[in-house]
Structure 1
Amino acid sequence: MAIGDNGISGPKIGCGDSLVATTTAPVRFTDQVGPSIGTLLANKSRDVGMSGLVNALYQSNLTYAGGELDGGTITIWLTGNFMLGGVCDIPRVKAQLEYTAMAAAGATSAQVFVNGRPIDDVLSLK
């Protein structure tokens, strides 16, 4: 996540941020979604190296419980809780999870459920 980048480095989301893909060491799995989401959730550092990018999920206590690809939609199920740094982290964590799942599955859309509830409901301020 490039905070305050305003869409220059990737898709613009949230409070003028950009979603930016990063790479990890090469690993091959039959299921790319589980390991990709697992790696994202296991990163407990706010900063992504010296890149200036931020992992908005670093404080959250979430676990990948499963996923399913149906046509062009990847659905993932997580358990646990979000720990956010403010209202701007809502679109950040949603985008990080959705785009990671889509990239790993080769999907065009994503649905995320946390403890059985849609992510939008879980992250709602209402």
Structure 2
Amino acid sequence: MPEQVAPLTVYYVAIGNGGTSGPMIGCGDSLVATTTAPVRFTDQVGPSIGTLLANKSRDVGMSGLVNVLYQSKLTYLGGELNDSTITIYLSGQFMLAGVCDIPRAKAQLEFTAMAASGATRAQVFVNGRPIDDVLSLK
């Protein structure tokens, strides 16, 4: 792919607003798309997920949005687009603040990957395991 310069889309959570700002997820929350300053890239997925994972602040500026992944120690390993599904591979571990953070974290990763790739479906693997297995409370 040719090198491009464009803003990246990264998703954060509006806690408790009932889906009024974006797709409804988790415990009555909304997922909200934000954009970065323009970034140089050839493959948008890596930089988008990298930007999300590199944000080590819970609060996203003064926006009222929250990054539930801020304490997690995750690294983007790669991704692949097959038809309309983006699959991303991460290593590391989640550090979440409670049961409501599980769907929030999953949605932040999936929607950020879909926005970056143009896919309509996302699969996330962490340490070779599906995200649902990794985040399962069982």
TM-score by length of 1: 0.99
Say whether residues 1:58 and 2:35 are aligned partners: no
Say whether residues 1:119 and 2:131 are aligned partners: yes
What is the distance in 2 between the residues matched to 1:110 and 1:15? 21
Alpha-carbon shift at residue 23 of structure 1 (Å): 1.1
Q: After the TM superposition, list the runs of 4 or more consecutive aligned residues in structure 1 that deviate by more than 4 angstroms.
A: none
Say whether residues 1:4 and 2:16 are aligned partners: yes
Select the structure that is richer in strand: 2
Number of aligned pairs? 126
Q: 1:37 aligns with which of 49, 65, 73?
A: 49
CA RMSD between the two structures: 0.5
CA distances 1:17-37 after superposition (whole Å, capped 9, x unpaired)? 000011111113110000000
Identity among equivalent pairs (%): 85
Q: 1:18 aligns with which of 16, 19, 30?
A: 30
What is the distance in 2 between the residues matched to 1:29 and 1:71? 22
Aligned to 1:99: 111
Aligned to 2:8: none
Q: Structure 1: state its 5+ residue gaps.
A: none
TM-score by length of 2: 0.90
CA distances 1:78-124 after superposition (whole Å, capped 9, x unpaired)? 00000000000000000000000000000000000000000000000
Aligned to 2:3: none
Say whether residues 1:82 and 2:101 are aligned partners: no
